[in-house]
Amino acid sequence: MPDNGAHSVQERLSGLAAYIPDRHTFSNSITAFLFCITGPLAILIASGQAGGLTESDLSSWIFGGYGTAGLITLWICWRFRQPMVVAWTIPGALLLPAALDHLTFAQVIGTYWVTGIVIAILGWSGLIGKVMRSIPMPIVMGMVAGVFLPLGIRVVTSFTDSALLAGVTLFVFLLFTLVRSLGRYMPPILAAIIAGGVTAWLVGAVAPIPETTRIFARPTFYVPEFSIQAMIELVIPLMVTVLGIQNAQGIAILKNAGFNAPVKAITTTTGWGSILLALTGSVPACLTGPLNGIIVSSGDHSKHWIGAMIVGFLMIGFALFAPLATAFALALPLSLIGLIGGLAMMRVLQTTFQAAFNGECPLGALVAFVVSVAGVPIFNIGAPFWGLVFAFIASWLLERGSLRRLIDQNSN
């Protein structure tokens, strides 16, 4: 007679094995998490400081941007059994400093709410496909390149504050990038942060962490303020960064890896997810391209979604210690944070330039880039919005055929 009890145990063990990631997937998950809390965190801190946010604001943003996004990641990965890490939008964060020159933080958070509602409606109604096809991407990429460029320039300007600190950090980053055997053990950005932090400590450039710093997160919940001026300035650029840049990149990565990415569900989730993130002051949610790209780079295809859930769990754990993480980041020299953020964005800046100037509407892309780099607001409306407006007008007047071909191509 067969031993039904033993057979049942074997079936249970076999079932559990399906949820255990292979070593490649597990290591990719750790690498993705380390990437998530190094370069992007540096960008968050740099953008928040440039916008005049307090340490409490930054801590709350970290809690929502990582913890709430981690919960959303767990839900969507479990629901669709696909690797879909959700995080906060980096381009959206880079819009923050210029906006806070003339808007209150509550007004900016109000735009996050409106952006999330509109994105959720576009996803729920199925209109997202039509919207995505109507966006002239070279012009948008020109605007994004203009927003990203000041961050990239900090790689150079950081040498004016401390050539030794910047030189050691950059050398280690290049070493771990060029020597692939080293890069496999530790991401270049993480290696650069460790080297920069140790060097800053040795030269006495690290500020002491206040003894009153809390260890565990105590998030602040913000009441949004809805301003017409803020809506006009930020909602469209934020929607573009989420839908036309970040979600589009993440979806393309998943499809290239053989996954049938649920575009409608992704759009709807990042919409209501943006509202949840806004509760604690974080910029809108998006499907992150780099993290999902790392996860699907190797390992068992059927377990990549488990790897994404590992990242989600780690993000939640990191968020619980948001005050300590924020205090530590603020203790580092601002030039080091700017350098790390610039290094993290270099590849993104490169691909943004290529997408902007390697196709149709090159003049429009150039106008969007120049206007966005100038950073001059008009009627208290930020430069990125006017970059899109003036670029579209320039393309319509001076390269109408190219603009029409681009629109026709997108509609097919």
The set of residues, in sequence order, having a beta carbon less than 8 Å from that of 338 and lying 6+ positions away, is: 42, 46, 151, 154, 157, 158
Q: Is there a contact between 196 and 165 (Cβ–Cβ < 8 Å)?
A: yes
Q: Which of 5-19, 207-221, 353-367 has the lowest mean pLDDT?
A: 5-19
For residue 67, being part of any structural domain is answered with yes
For residue 38, being part of any structural domain is answered with yes
Tens of pLDDT, residue by residue over 114-173, are 999 999 999 888 777 666 666 687 887 888 788 778 878 888 988 988 899 999 999 999
Cβ neighbourhood burial of 344 (10 Å; 0-12, 13-18, 19+): buried
Look at the chain and count its residues.
Answer: 412
Tens of pLDDT, residue by residue over 373-393, are 888 877 656 787 788 889 989
Q: Can you tell me the distance from the alpha carbon of 53 to that of 343, in angstroms, rounded to the nearest whole number?
A: 23
The predicted pLDDT at position 278 comes to: 95
For residue 8, being part of any structural domain is answered with no
* Average pLDDT score over residue span 276-297: 89
Q: Which of 149, 278, 140 is nearest to 221 (CA)?
A: 278
For residue 366, being part of any structural domain is answered with no
Vertex 107, ends 330 and 247: CA angle to 5°? 75
> What are the respective helix, strand and coil percentages of the chain, to the nearest 5?
75, 0, 25
CB atoms within 10 A of CB 158: 27
Q: What is the DSSP secondary structure assignment for residue 360, as one 8-state letter?
A: S
Q: Which of 195-199, 310-314, 323-327, 364-368 has the lowest mean pLDDT?
A: 323-327
CA dihedral 240, 243, 246, 248 (to 10 degrees): -130
For residue 151, being part of any structural domain is answered with yes
Question: What residue numbers bound the domain in which 230 lies?
Answer: 21-351
Q: Which of 151, 208, 231, 170 is nearest to 328 (CA)?
A: 208
For residue 46, being part of any structural domain is answered with yes
Tens of pLDDT, residue by residue over 70-119, are 999 999 999 999 999 999 988 888 888 888 888 899 999 999 999 999 99
Confidence of residue 6 (pLDDT cuts 50, 70, 90): low
SS3 223: coil
For residue 248, being part of any structural domain is answered with yes
The set of residues, in sequence order, having a beta carbon less than 8 Å from that of 133 and lying 6+ positions away, is: 410, 411
For residue 52, being part of any structural domain is answered with yes
Q: What is the DSSP secondary structure assignment for residue 378, as one 8-state letter?
A: B
Q: Is the model more confident about 282 or about 146?
A: 282
Q: Is there a contact between 24 and 300 (Cβ–Cβ < 8 Å)?
A: yes
Give the chain's domain count.
1
